[in-house]
Amino acid sequence: MESASRQRGMKRQLVEISKGGDEVYRFKILLPNGTSIGLNVRDPGPEMPFDDFINLVKEEYFRVLRHSGSMKQKRSVNWKVGSLDFQDANDVKLERSIFNFRSFKPHKCYILRLHDGSGESSEIFENMWDLTPDTELLRELPEEYTFETALADLIDNSLQAVWSNHKNDRRLVRLDVSEDRISIFDTGPGMDGSDENSIVKWGKMGASLHRASKAQAIGGKPPYLKPFFGMFGYGGPIASMHLGRYARVSSKTKKSTKVYILHLEREALLSNSGSEHTWKTGGGIRKPLQEEIVETRQGSFTKVEYCIHLTATK
């Protein structure tokens, strides 16, 4: 009894976030019922029995489940160890007997997809991305932000993306507008699930690397022309709220074999806009479509699709 209690204590300690110089391994676990959880494992050593790692995931899943009404509506996960296995973001299957931490770098976040033998899978996962903005940035929101400004801001984002392309890469920005939809496609460097190229930066206010130079922007308002693109970094979430109730971002980098997806829902963001809330949103991973491969010879792109308001300014 005492031994079991000590083991549970050790497991709880493993998922704590390090406060010192310890090694923390960070994972985003995508579950077969379309939900996701974050897991931080501190100082685990070079390897861990597969069953022990599964238990860490299971404990964190049920901890989150107790506080999430939407997760309770999802189907149950089959936690029988013999039926479980992991794949990384590129569909490479992990060894089932030992979880090898040598395959991962500390402090970086890795996406792992859990399969429970049910044969069911999902492309979209609840709460996959955290878009919570910095508190200071919320005080900087623009007073005047119209439909036209929002559209110009997003085109500006695409111009900034393709401007950074290599000389031989295709530089394409395409805007398609219909009565109820807007689509913006560019062949910029794209985004994925890595810390340095995370698709979260598209949807998180203040994530732009160019905000420090916003005072130099022409006129201080979008669209920002060469060389001062995207100074405010509001493009993704704020423009989404002005352009429509729903946005879907799909993006791929040259190195990634998968397309990463981020969903923005206007009502969900507005209902969680208080300082005590986090802005978490759904996302997913899929294979690139043939039409996307044809559009970009270098293999990278970003596509943003909006369901727009019918009350757009004429």
CATH number, domain containing residue 108: 3.10.20.90
115 & 167 share domain:
no
Q: Which domain holds residue 89?
A: 2-120
Report pLDDT digits (tens) over 244-270. 778 899 999 999 999 999 988 776 665
Tell me how far the alpha carbon of residue 96 is from its chain's centroid.
Answer: 27
What CA–CA distances, in Å, run from 65 to 52, 59, 311? 20, 10, 39
151-193 residue pLDDT tens: 887 888 888 889 888 888 899 999 998 888 899 999 999 999 8
Q: Choose one of 98, 120, 142: the last residue of a domain.
A: 120
Q: Is residue 212 located within the same domain as residue 267? A: yes
> What CATH code is carried by the domain that includes residue 249?
3.30.565
150 and 45 together in one domain: no
Residue 100, in any domain of the structure: yes
Residue 314 lies in a domain: no
Residues 96, 139 within the same domain: no
Would you say residue 213 lies in a domain?
yes
- 19 contacts 43 by C-beta, under 8 angstroms: no
Question: Within this chain, do residues 224 and 284 fall inside the same structural domain, yes or no?
Answer: yes
- Considering the domain architecture, whether residues 162 and 82 belong to the same structural domain is answered as no
**Structure confidence at residue 218 as a pLDDT band (50, 70, 90):** very low
Q: What is the pLDDT of residue 179?
A: 82
Last residue of a domain, one of 73, 102, 120: 120
Cis bond before residue 227 (omega within 30° of 0) = yes
135 and 257, same domain (yes or no): yes
- The verdict on 173 and 266 lying in the same domain is yes
- What is this structure's pTM? 0.69
Phi first, then psi: what are they for 155, rounded to 5°? -65, -40
Report how many domains make up the chain: 2
β-bridge partners, 286: 259
Same domain for 155 and 113: no
Q: Quick one: tokens of 215?
A: 């005072």
142 and 289 together in one domain: yes
